[in-house]
Chains A and B, each alone.
Chain A
Amino acid sequence: MRDMNTAGTTTGRPRIRALGNSADLDALAAYFEVHAVALRRFAYWLCGDWAFAEDLVQDAFVRAARAGAKADREGILTYCRRTISSLHTSGMRRRTLEQRLLRGGTDREPVQAATDPSDRDEMWRHLMTLSAQQRACLVLRFYEDLTEAEIAGALGVSEGTVRKQVSRGMERLRTMVGRDA
Chain B
Amino acid sequence: MSLETMIRDAAARRAAEAPEPRAGWSEVQTAIHADAARRPARIALKGAAIAAAVLAVAVIGPKITGAPGDTTYRPTAFTGSLPSHPASVPGGTLDGVEYRLVVRASTITMIPGPDTIDHRCVKMSVDYDAPDPLWTTGNIVVGHVQDCAVLEGRSAIGALHYRPFPHRHNTPYHALGVVAPRVVRLSLMVDGATMDVPTHPVAGFPLRAWIADIATGARVTEMIGHLDDGTRIVVPVNCHGEAWPTCTNGVDPDRTR
Contacts and interface: CB of A to CB of B under 8 A. Distances in A.
Interface of A: 19-20, 25, 28-29, 32-33, 36, 40-41, 44-45, 50-51, 54-55, 58-59, 61-62, 65-66, 93-94, 97-98, 101-102, 104-106, 121, 123-124, 127, 138-139, 142-143, 170, 173-174, 177
Interface string B111-155: 000000000000000000000101100000000000000000000
B35 A62 contact: yes
B31 interface: yes
Contacts of B228: none
B176 A61 contact: no
A50 B165 contact: no
Q: With a 10 A CB-CB cut-off, give which of B4, B21, B201 has the most chain A CB atoms.
A: B21
Contacts of B33: 20
B198 interface: yes
Contacts of A32: 25, 28
Given A51-B22, A65-B35, A98 B176 contact: yes
Contacts of A104: 198, 200
A45 B3 contact: no
Interface stretch (B10-18, B80-88, B184-192, B232-240): B10-18
Nearest to A108: B203
B130 to A, nearest CB: 12
B96 interface: no
B23 A62 contact: no
B7 interface: yes
B134 A62 contact: no
A138 B14 CA distance: 14
Interface of B is mostly: helix
B27 to A, nearest CB: 7
Nearest to B33: A20
Interface residues of B, number: 42
A67 B168 CA distance: 23
Contacts of A138: 7
29 contacts: A28-B32, A32-B25, A32-B28, A45-B11, A55-B168, A58-B27, A58-B28, A58-B165, A58-B168, A59-B165, A62-B28, A62-B31, A65-B32, A66-B32, A94-B135, A97-B134, A101-B200, A104-B200, A121-B13, A123-B6, A123-B9, A124-B13, A127-B7, A127-B11, A139-B11, A142-B11, A143-B8, A143-B12, A143-B15
Interface of B: 3-4, 6-15, 18-19, 21-23, 25, 27-29, 31-33, 35-36, 39, 132, 134-135, 165, 168-169, 174, 176, 198, 200-203, 209, 211
A121 B18 CA distance: 15
Nearest to A97: B135
Contacts of B9: 123
Contact of B19 (A33, A50, A123): A50
Nearest to A61: B28
Nearest to B14: A124
A44 to B, nearest CB: 7
A30 B31 CA distance: 17
A142 B7 CA distance: 7
Given A54-B168, A98-B176, A41 B18 contact: yes
